[in-house]
Structure 1
Amino acid sequence: MDVQRVILIAALALVSYLMVLQWNEDYGPAQHQPQQQATTVSAYSNSGDSQSIAELPQASDASASADIPVTDNSAVAEAESGSLIHIRTDVLDLLVDPRGGDIIQAALPQHDAVLNSDQPFVLLEQNSNRTYVAQSGLIGQDGPDAAKGGRPLYTSQQTEYVMDGDSLNVDLVLTTDSGVQVTKRFSFAKGEYKVGVEFIVNNGSADAFDAVLFGQIKRDGTPDPSQQTSMGMQSYLGAVFSTAENNYQKVDFGDMDEERFKTSSPDGWVAMVQHYFLSAWIPAPGAEYTYQTRKLNGNYIAGFLSPDFSVAPGQTQTVSATFYAGPKDVDQLEQIAPNLNLTIDYGWLWWIASPLYMLLKWIHSVVGNWGLSIIGITILVKAALFHLNAKAFKSMAKMRKFGPEMTRLKELYGDDRQKMSQEMMKLYQKEKINPLGGCLPILVQMPVFIALYWVLMESVELRHAPFFGYIQDLSQMDPYFILPILMGVTMFIQQSLNPTPPDPMQAKMMKMLPILFTFFFLWFPAGLVLYWLVNNILSIAQQWVINKQIEAGAAKD
């Protein structure tokens, strides 16, 4: 009979497993695939949106209506953009629109769109799939971007630029009717995702040239393409500002729907953040800038305005900013601007998560595998909390040891809860049992576990990082659910080492927890499940040893 029961349970488990696999294939969370290639076009061509120029700010910017400069849209619609300018470095693949000199596509060759894909991840794009671009220019009294003819058409010596060496400069040149030459220069360095953007104004006219530099990021409300899992906590998607008053202030799309954000600050930066990647404008330090958001034509816009500057006749002046488009790489972000590394958002537990990330990175430098690094950091965290866990496990072991006695007291005193509580307190005092001893240490270490969860969630290094065997991407779910099932099994074993709750209903609920957690973890990223699995195994080992010690002490007595 027992053999038949085991066979039936095993058969049922196998069928259930196969059904879950098939369900996941048919209805499970969709894996992000490279979107169908769409042609990148200028926003100002005949086939583009001529109304896009209305999304430029005005230098005065006194009210919401002032966000839309007076422009002759019909003239813009008739004006053709020149050929898009293609710029390639070792880490960036950009398309620049000569009409306005905006970056309308940014692909990242070092990061695949999906695992083992020959297509790079596209961060910025302007096509039928998504609008997400970086705009910059000169507005104000004489700024060419504020002219009635619309965005200026720059010229470039080439339409193809490839970095051959450690640096690359790309110049876009515009000469106005009054004799002012504006050179928009993009500067690149090998291995860096930041782009220097300079406006070199050579005033060959008879009058002073007055203008304002602006930089802004325009994005529609489409979902985050780098959010590769739909389960668990989601990374932030939206704008972030860093100012002297608030070094990290989120303004999400919902906030922009309700009202526009506007503030002034010396220095600072503005960014558009998503899972693993971001884009950011960092104006040159040493000036007071206006930071603002707008929603126009269905697009969300976050940007900055510089103070007004003036170039005397016959003089040359340069205004500049830095643009970043790439992964949340803490090393590069720390070097570019103060607080830019905060876009790697660990939440309110950042003060715990930051050192955990540094520890994880150091372990990887030794072992060379991110899966082993997760195991290593789990072991180190467990070791650091060893004594705290030991107190909890000892308390639970004593509760387990005297479980029969507690059951006897419950049966003896029945419904007389007061008398039963008195007898239980006498037992606790006699045997030196702390009924809360198993809870308090666990509560103390919960912030560590949550912080480590966010470290694993926010680390771009884990994106497409292989472990061993069939697990080729720790940021994705286990395709065969092996890790979640093992996690559930270890949770069941760990639970069997704990004392059984005296309340029958509570005991039944505790028995259901491993099943519920297993189902919940099926679609979690494999790296996170690996962390929980290793943590459970270490807890089982520690608790088993402590239980044996308590039982051995009781046998001697």
Structure 2
Amino acid sequence: MDLQRTLLIAGLVVVGYLTVLQWNQDYNQPPAVSQTEAQLPATSAPAVQSTSATSDAPDLAQDSLPDTNDSAPSAELVTVTTDTLIMTIDTRGGDIVRIELPKYPRVKGQTEPFVLLENTAHRTFIAQSGLTGANGPDRLGKPVYNSAKTSYSLGNSQELNVDLTLKADNGVNITKRFVFTKGTYQVKVDYRIQNNSDSTWRGNFYSQLKRDNTEDPSREISSSGNINTYLGAAVKTEEKHYEKLDFSDFTDSPFKEKVKGGYAAIVQHYFVTAWVPNQNQVNTFQTRVYKGDNIISVVEPTVEVAPGQTETVGATLYAGPKNQEVLESLAQGLDLTIDYGMLWWFAKPLFLLLSYIHSVLGNWGWSIITLTIIVKGLFFPLSKASYTSMAKMRKISPKMQALKEKHGEDKQALSQAMMKLYKDEKVNPMGGCLPILVQMPVFIALYWVLIESVELRHAPWLGWIHDLSQMDPYFILPLIMGASMFAQQLLSPTPPDPMQARVMKLMPVIFTFFFLWFPAGLVLYWVTNNLLSISQQWYITKSIEAQD
């Protein structure tokens, strides 16, 4: 009993400490500049920061950044609009400096698209690609391409090609082509190298993502600020299909590895941006910090273009929601950027089941409830064993109290008497805990499914719940959750130790406080699970009492 009391008190202290830390993190931070404040009106092109005079392309010779002072003409912005993307391309380097997602509003009920990539005073997050190496134009700085138009639209077409052209030295012509396809978030970026010179052209295609250390924009606009999801880079390695690379390690522990195929991604809540190179060749992946910005890049093998010949190199950029099926088709391991943690192998089938239920019911809230009922039903045999043990413990609690009064402070005698009581009554004091521990991995996996699923973003349930990814605006679900926890305690045996009993009474209050700012979808899951547990426990307890 002393051990149980010590563990419960220690747990309460830890929970309280974490509560204070989280409260300070959520409510004692300086206000961040919103996306709206940092961008120009929708009728005009987004502001673009002045590009540095030095190059941020990988230097293959020295494996460092070149320091050149090239003077380039002013950049021109090209806007491309499709049904899924609104993209802004800077003709200086052909960099993608802004991506908006029109199918994902920034705030529910409004038309302003969510901004995934941008290059403003508030945030730097851009996608770059180019040609470096011996004859690559990017080796000395960003070249300036020419565009026939400054605005393109996919319209009713299935595919759209946007070409940027460059006449390099010695008769080499380069065309940078962006290929957009209707209904997708993939953009194929190809370099067509036409060598009209008298010597062999040699160079390397590279693609990279550059991001500063600003906060995840999804967190800025979320009312559920206490849910922390991963923001950082990710790659495939020889050992792992999904390896996280924290921005904090880019300076002290830069990553560099050659991998066949692979991908270079920056992951955030609900969305991912990734360069997917040629999957049939060995590519070099590396990270570094350049003027305060974090860069993850892919450098493909050297390509040679003989005089009079033309070669094409390139990669695919994905910039959009974390769609499990699409990401899996692009590169091995890219779907793991939907980060379900260590239990991803179990969480993925749970999500597939949740998606199937939604395809039938058409509402994510009812789908969560249905999934919880199915999972609870599958584990009913374990739950029955647990609740049966609890019911028996509750039944003998008067005898346990009598033993405590009889033996007083003689803890050794009390312990021996209680062990004899357990044996005589055929009660296993751990019987109520072990089945619950077996079920915990399932509930943790389901928790991460609900956290990571972009499908729940802006998804309504009923009545006052207009967005399952945001907190309950009236705290109704968290209060019901707390009441259900209290009801569960009434059906459970009272701990013989007074301190332990007081700690247990505080748990519904503590958990209610935590759940006030949780996404409504998560709270709905816990409420449903608690109500089902109460029903099962009440039924089993009454059955045992009826047998007696």
Q: TM-score, normalised by structure 2?
A: 0.91
Task: Give the aligned partner of residue 15 of structure 2.
Answer: none
Asked if the contact 1:90–1:109 (Cα under 8 Å) also holds between the matched residues in 2, the reply is yes
Is structure 2 residue 523 aligned with structure 1 residue 529?
yes
Code of the residue aligned with 2:214 in structure 1: it is: T
Task: Give the aligned partner of residue 486 of structure 1.
Answer: 480
Code of the residue aligned with 2:415 in structure 1: it is: S
Asked if the contact 1:356–1:455 (Cα under 8 Å) also holds between the matched residues in 2, the reply is yes
- C-alpha separation in 2, matches of 1:372 and 1:33: 33
* Alignment length (residue pairs): 515
- C-alpha separation in 2, matches of 1:72 and 1:333: 39
Provide Cα deviations, 1:441-498, integer angstroms capped at 9, x if missing partner: 1111111111111000000000111111111110100011000000000110011100
Asked if the contact 1:243–1:267 (Cα under 8 Å) also holds between the matched residues in 2, the reply is no
Q: Specify whether residues 428 and 32 from structure 1 end up closer, same or farther in structure 2 by C-alpha distance, changes over 3 A only.
A: farther
Asked if the contact 2:224–2:519 (Cα under 8 Å) also holds between the matched residues in 1, the reply is no
- C-alpha separation in 2, matches of 1:253 and 1:109: 28
Asked if the contact 1:98–1:155 (Cα under 8 Å) also holds between the matched residues in 2, the reply is yes
State the Cα RMSD in Å: 1.8
Task: Give the aligned partner of residue 135 of structure 2.
Answer: 142
Task: Give the aligned partner of residue 153 of structure 1.
Answer: 144
Matched position secondary structure for 1:132: strand
Q: 180, 191, 194: which one pairs with 1:188?
A: 180
- C-alpha separation in 2, matches of 1:231 and 1:490: 24
User: Deviation of residue 422 (structure 1)?
Assistant: 2.2
Q: 82, 88, 92: which one pairs with 2:85?
A: 92
Moved more, 411-420 or 196-205: 411-420
Task: Give the aligned partner of residue 9 of structure 1.
Answer: none
- C-alpha separation in 1, matches of 2:538 and 2:201: 79
Is structure 2 residue 42 aligned with structure 1 residue 36?
no
Q: Map of 1:458-473 to 2, 5 A cutoff?
A: 458-473=452-467
Runs of 5+ unmatched residues, structure 2 = 1-22, 41-45
Task: Give the aligned partner of residue 4 of structure 1.
Answer: none
- C-alpha separation in 2, matches of 1:266 and 1:250: 18
- C-alpha separation in 1, matches of 2:524 and 2:34: 25
Matched position secondary structure for 1:428: helix
Is structure 2 residue 494 aligned with structure 1 residue 500?
yes
User: Deviation of residue 434 (structure 1)?
Assistant: 0.5
User: Deviation of residue 61 (structure 1)?
Assistant: 4.0
User: Deviation of residue 177 (structure 1)?
Assistant: 3.2
Asked if the contact 2:224–2:470 (Cα under 8 Å) also holds between the matched residues in 1, the reply is no
User: Deviation of residue 257 (structure 1)?
Assistant: 3.2
Asked if the contact 2:38–2:121 (Cα under 8 Å) also holds between the matched residues in 1, the reply is no
Matched position secondary structure for 1:493: helix
Asked if the contact 1:244–1:268 (Cα under 8 Å) also holds between the matched residues in 2, the reply is no
Matched residues, percent identical?
A: 52
Q: Map of 1:65-464 to 2, 5 A cutoff?
A: 67-73=64-70, 75-76=71-72, 79-81=73-75, 83-147=76-140, 150-164=141-155, 165-227=157-219, 228=222, 231-464=225-458
Q: Specify whether residues 178 and 172 from structure 1 end up closer, same or farther in structure 2 by C-alpha distance, changes over 3 A only.
A: same
- C-alpha separation in 2, matches of 1:375 and 1:418: 48
- C-alpha separation in 2, matches of 1:318 and 1:527: 47
Q: Map of 1:36-55 to 2, 5 A cutoff?
A: 36-39=37-40, 40-43=46-49, 48-51=50-53, 53-55=54-56
- C-alpha separation in 1, matches of 2:32 and 2:373: 31
Asked if the contact 2:162–2:177 (Cα under 8 Å) also holds between the matched residues in 1, the reply is yes
- C-alpha separation in 1, matches of 2:131 and 2:62: 14
Asked if the contact 1:133–1:219 (Cα under 8 Å) also holds between the matched residues in 2, the reply is yes
- C-alpha separation in 2, matches of 1:241 and 1:216: 12
Task: Give the aligned partner of residue 517 of structure 1.
Answer: 511
- C-alpha separation in 2, matches of 1:70 and 1:544: 73
Matched position secondary structure for 2:217: coil
- C-alpha separation in 2, matches of 1:536 and 1:204: 73
Moved more, 424-433 or 485-494: 424-433
Asked if the contact 1:264–1:288 (Cα under 8 Å) also holds between the matched residues in 2, the reply is yes
User: Deviation of residue 233 (structure 1)?
Assistant: 4.5
Task: Give the aligned partner of residue 56 of structure 1.
Answer: 57
- C-alpha separation in 1, matches of 2:110 and 2:185: 21
Moved more, 390-399 or 238-247: 238-247
Q: 460, 467, 474: which one pairs with 2:468?
A: 474
- C-alpha separation in 2, matches of 1:206 and 1:274: 47
Asked if the contact 1:32–1:225 (Cα under 8 Å) also holds between the matched residues in 2, the reply is no
Runs of 5+ unmatched residues, structure 1 = 1-22
User: Deviation of residue 50 (structure 1)?
Assistant: 2.1
Asked if the contact 1:197–1:321 (Cα under 8 Å) also holds between the matched residues in 2, the reply is yes
- C-alpha separation in 1, matches of 2:425 and 2:180: 71
Q: Specify whether residues 61 and 241 from structure 1 end up closer, same or farther in structure 2 by C-alpha distance, changes over 3 A only.
A: farther
- C-alpha separation in 2, matches of 1:263 and 1:529: 42
Code of the residue aligned with 2:52 in structure 1: it is: S
Q: TM-score, normalised by structure 1?
A: 0.90
Asked if the contact 1:108–1:122 (Cα under 8 Å) also holds between the matched residues in 2, the reply is yes
User: Deviation of residue 38 (structure 1)?
Assistant: 2.0
Moved more, 310-319 or 161-170: 161-170
- C-alpha separation in 1, matches of 2:33 and 2:194: 48
- C-alpha separation in 2, matches of 1:257 and 1:117: 40
Asked if the contact 1:289–1:305 (Cα under 8 Å) also holds between the matched residues in 2, the reply is yes
User: Deviation of residue 32 (structure 1)?
Assistant: 9.8
Q: Specify whether residues 290 and 449 from structure 1 end up closer, same or farther in structure 2 by C-alpha distance, changes over 3 A only.
A: same
Q: 540, 546, 557: which one pairs with 2:534?
A: 540
- C-alpha separation in 2, matches of 1:241 and 1:274: 14
